[in-house]
Chain A
Amino acid sequence: MRRLSELSALASVLLWSSGAWAADAAKPENPLNMTAIIMFFIFVTVTLGITYWAASRTKTAKDFYAAGGGITGMQNGLAIAGDYMSAASFLGISAMVFAKGYDGLIYSIGFLVGWPVILFLMAEQLRNLGRYTFADIVSFRLSRIPIRTLSALGTLCTVILYLIAQMVGAGQLIRTLFGLPYEYAVVIVGTLMILYVAFGGMLATTWVQIIKAVLLLTGATFIAIGALNHVHFDIELFFRSALEGVKSSGLADHKKVVADNKDIFAPGGLVSDPISAISLGMALMFGTAGLPHILMRFFTVANAKEARKSVFYATGFIGYFYILTFIIGFGAVVLVAPNPHYVDLAKGVLNGGNNMAAIHMAHATGGDLFLGFISAVAFATILAVVSGLTLAGASAVSHDIYANAIRGGKVDERVEMRISKIAALVIGIIAIYLGIQFEKQNVAFMVGLAFAIAASANFPILILSIYWKDLTTRGALIGGSLGLISTVTMVVLSKTVWVDVLGNKEALFPYKDPAIFSMTLAFVGCWLFSKMDSSAQAQKERALFAPQRVRCETGVGATGASKH
């Protein structure tokens, strides 16, 4: 009942404020869209219903962190896709294709190619070695307290940065949709995600992701078909129209492309120099393999076979989705850019910013009803991704820091779960605060930063602990910390934070993506300090590699699925 009253309180707040804003503050280009609001409420009601159901089935820590281990490969594949196809992907990538053309595809490819590598080198190993978090794998051989603490730090940094990107997307979307102020939208998203995670745990989070993945794939398919239908499915005509669209566009971004004589069907301004291109490529590919909320998904299936099937399905869904965003981005150049309904010609910008390209595309191809549907889907997308992130962050606090680092693994499950719920609340509040601070940043770019940390801090110690016999606690600790500290330092000193956020005149670090430097530092650090480590502890850790390998390869001794 408490949950229901919270829901109705939230609903009344939302209704009141959207009404108030429609009356006195909404801009003419953001009229109140009743279809969108109704669909949004249906989604929220259904997902809160699922949360209620999931809460009644979430009794043990295994239920809370891993949905009891009973998710199938197909379900998990969809949920992974749901976790991965964020608002930053949907809105940000289609916006990037819309504004810059081919550069958007470079991002998409980088986001996708990490998946086969995860499958070949990590998916089954994660399932066989871990229980709830990726730190379980690293601490199979290595010393619990320092390794858990470092992994938790890496997790929290990745989660918070990724959360900011999602929050920014949420704020922009709901502002355009409801005419709500940005800050208000961010608070609503934050509140809902806290409810899902704290009450429904991994089971609710998984089903929110599955539903969202199906809705998003369906919606994006329809937009892409609509775009291609406009040119009678003539691909040549489609790209020709996009080219003409850019040339005749009244948008400042497109005018700049024309003035700079840029080819929208070739790599452009996104990657300005070779170092940046390679660095971005490394961050995207290996970052995926170090994202804690993604890694956590492998603990929700029963065995290695289901784990590998999950990745196969996920790669298919995600690859298909990225091809759709490419079509949607160029489709928006053809259908959205020339239409004064979507464009503020006086300012030379798209209403609501470039991130709204996909949303306007929905209206251009399917009218008000479809706009409502896609807006609700985009909102669902954000909620699903932030929930997965919050759960991963909360698990790092409760399972890694509290239960293992502080209490040495001897802890009452109920206390651990309570800590996790409190952590979800705190992370939610931090995400709301930072989401508001980072309002003006490009969301896809923010995700790039999260990936750099995942690639430089989490991925090196994880992959080395699985495959390299000689890795020791000391090596992992120094290498991982070097990766984490160098990434954060370089990101803070780069243009994105140092200039755009902190207001300094010039960036102290010249590259946007630090991965090429920070990953190298992390690997060299791990290798060097492990090699130099001849302590008794190091010998023990190396001796444990053989049993770890056996469990890794065969699954003998792995935590199985629970019985219910």
Chain B
Amino acid sequence: MNEDPVDQRLVERIQNHPKYKELVEKRSRFTWWLSIIMLVIYYAFVLVVAFAPKSLGAKISSTSVISVGIPIGVLIIISAFVLTGIYVRRANSEFDSLTQAIKEETK
């Protein structure tokens, strides 16, 4: 069981604060959406690898040897980075100021 004592009254004050509810709601919706986007991108890729590996070997143009799988792979890597950037941006501004406000107002 938890080693640190929990201040029950403080917990209740925070829990009942409207901004806490707003924070939890907004952040969960946002993080689950972002996670789902990442999962969909990745598992769509995995399923193509599993069921239609040849399709990733299609050439990007008739004169090229480069397969579509290569830019797709690189784009997935970039999308992972971009998604983390999107989260950090919103968390640093909106979520952090909400958290700060909650802490101030429940002291």
Which of B3, B24, B73, B102 makes the CB contact (< 8 A) with A105? B73
CB of B46 within 8 A of CB of A316, answer: no
Known: A266-B53, A266-B56. A322 touches B77 (CB 8 A): yes
CB of A109 within 8 A of CB of B42, answer: yes
CB of A547 within 8 A of CB of B8, answer: yes
Q: Quick check: is A265 within 8 A (CB to CB) of the other chain?
A: yes
B16-53 interface mask toward A, CB cutoff 8 Å, 1 = contact, 0 = none? 00001001100100011011001101110111011101
CB of A305 within 8 A of CB of B38, answer: no
Which residues of chain B come closer than 8 Å to A181, judged between CB atoms?
A: none
Q: Quick check: is A16 within 8 A (CB to CB) of the other chain?
A: no
CB of A309 within 8 A of CB of B67, answer: no
Which of A105, A311, A548 makes the CB contact (< 8 A) with B84? A311
Which of A108, A121, A274 makes the CB contact (< 8 A) with B77? A108
Known: A113-B80, A116-B80, A265-B65. A285 touches B42 (CB 8 A): yes
Known: A263-B67, A266-B54, A305-B92. A121 touches B80 (CB 8 A): no
CB of B54 within 8 A of CB of A323, answer: no
Q: Quick check: is A149 within 8 A (CB to CB) of the other chain?
A: no
CB of A553 within 8 A of CB of B35, answer: no
* Chain B 38-96 residues near chain A, CB threshold 8 A: 38-39, 41-43, 45-47, 49-51, 53-54, 56-57, 64-67, 69-70, 73-74, 76-78, 80-81, 83-85, 87-88, 91-92, 96
- Chain A min CB distance to B82 (Å): 9
Which residues of chain A come closer than 8 Å to B76, judged between CB atoms?
A: 109, 112-113
CB of A323 within 8 A of CB of B2, answer: no
CB of B6 within 8 A of CB of A547, answer: yes
CA distance A308 to B96 in the complex (A): 12
Known: A109-B77, A277-B49, A553-B27. A409 touches B14 (CB 8 A): no
Q: Quick check: is A561 within 8 A (CB to CB) of the other chain?
A: no
CB of A116 within 8 A of CB of B65, answer: no
CB of A554 within 8 A of CB of B99, answer: yes
- Chain A min CB distance to B42 (Å): 5
Considering only CB atoms, which chain B residue lies closest to A330 in the complex?
B70
- Chain A min CB distance to B45 (Å): 7
CB of B87 within 8 A of CB of A102, answer: no
Which residues of chain B come closer than 8 Å to A508, judged between CB atoms?
A: none
Which residues of chain B come closer than 8 Å to A124, judged between CB atoms?
A: 91
Which residues of chain B come closer than 8 Å to A105, judged between CB atoms?
A: 69-70, 73
A217-250 interface mask toward B, CB cutoff 8 Å, 1 = contact, 0 = none? 0000000000000000001100110010000000
Which of B2, B6, B67, B74 makes the CB contact (< 8 A) with A266? B67
Known: A139-B2, A554-B103. A319 touches B42 (CB 8 A): no
CB of B57 within 8 A of CB of A263, answer: yes
Considering only CB atoms, which chain B residue lies closest to A540 in the complex?
B1
CA distance A141 to B4 in the complex (A): 11
Which residues of chain B come closer than 8 Å to A50, judged between CB atoms?
A: none
Q: Quick check: is A557 within 8 A (CB to CB) of the other chain?
A: yes
CB of B35 within 8 A of CB of A116, answer: yes
CA distance A548 to B24 in the complex (A): 13
- Show the binding face of B for A, using Cβ within 8 Å: 1-4, 6-8, 10-11, 14-15, 20, 23-24, 27, 31-32, 34-35, 38-39, 41-43, 45-47, 49-51, 53-54, 56-57, 64-67, 69-70, 73-74, 76-78, 80-81, 83-85, 87-88, 91-92, 96, 99, 102-103
Closest 9 CB pairs of A and B: A266-B57, A277-B50, A274-B50, A265-B67, A267-B53, A281-B46, A120-B31, A263-B57, A547-B6
Given A265-B69, A409-B3; 16 other pairs, CB 8 A cutoff: A102-B56, A102-B67, A139-B1, A140-B2, A265-B65, A267-B56, A267-B57, A275-B50, A277-B49, A278-B50, A281-B43, A281-B49, A312-B84, A319-B78, A544-B2, A554-B102
Cβ contacts A to B, 27 pairs, < 8 Å: A109-B77, A112-B76, A112-B77, A113-B38, A116-B38, A116-B80, A116-B87, A119-B84, A120-B34, A121-B35, A236-B66, A240-B65, A263-B67, A265-B65, A265-B66, A266-B67, A266-B69, A267-B57, A305-B96, A315-B81, A409-B3, A547-B11, A550-B14, A550-B15, A555-B99, A556-B10, A557-B6
